Amino acid sequence: MRWFIIFLVLFSVKLTAAADLKLYDDAVLEAWKERTQANVQWNFDTLIIGNLTPAERRSIGKVDLMMPLRAPGEMGDDPMTFYAAPGRIVAPAKSIRFFSDMAIAIAYYEVKGGDIQTVYDYMAMLKYRSPEDMEGGRFLPPLEALGVPAEAWKEDALIDDLSQKILKSALFSES
């Protein structure tokens, strides 16, 4: 329940007060999409669509999961942009990558005994500060900004397990 509340708060906050955060370049997002798209699609098909009753399936009709690099237009500025439109659900690679990085950061701080408030402070900084206020004139991606090793999930099985539970329970909750 605790993780659900944490991510309910994260999902409900539009992060960008400024222009595109440019947390990830296109090459990073392309690699992320290539690595994760099949797994995201499987989870969508199995945990979301697969748990609908026949009546619910008929009611919604055909629904496609779209995974562009970024959301279109101004929505692309916000790394927490997930939305639905008739016949499709859009989960941009940028948003899934950001969400995954935040799950890893929370798991890292939890497992290592760090102050999880630091992660929330980072979210507040993205919302209320301007990139021009930062050294180099841009925001750093979550793991780099929070001092979390880029492959923390590979280095510690507990971090991997907890971050996956956070990510999957928020994106593909069966309840």
Average pLDDT over residues 45-55: 90
pTM score of the predicted model: 0.81
Q: What is the pLDDT of residue 98?
A: 92
Q: What is the pLDDT of residue 157?
A: 94
Q: Using 50, 70 and 90 to split pLDDT, how confident is the model at 128?
A: confident
Q: Which amino acid would we find at residue 37?
A: Q
State the chain's mean pLDDT as an integer: 84
Contact 78, 10 (CB under 8 A): no
Strand 88-90 to 64-66 pairing: parallel
Counting Cβ atoms within 10 Å, is residue 97 exposed (0-12), middle (13-18) or buried (19+)? buried
pLDDT at 16 exceeding the cut of 60? no
Q: What is the pLDDT of residue 132?
A: 83
Least confident segment among 46-50, 66-70, 105-109, 143-147: 46-50
pLDDT at 63 exceeding the cut of 80? yes
The domain locations on the chain are: 2-171
Contacts of 59 (CB under 8 A, 6+ apart): none
Summarised one tens digit per residue, pLDDT across range 104-122 is 999 999 999 999 999 999 9
Average pLDDT over residues 24-28: 92
pLDDT at 18 exceeding the cut of 50? no
Sheet with 88-90: strands ordered across = 64-66, 88-90, 83-85
Q: What is the pLDDT of residue 136?
A: 84
pLDDT at 155 exceeding the cut of 80? yes
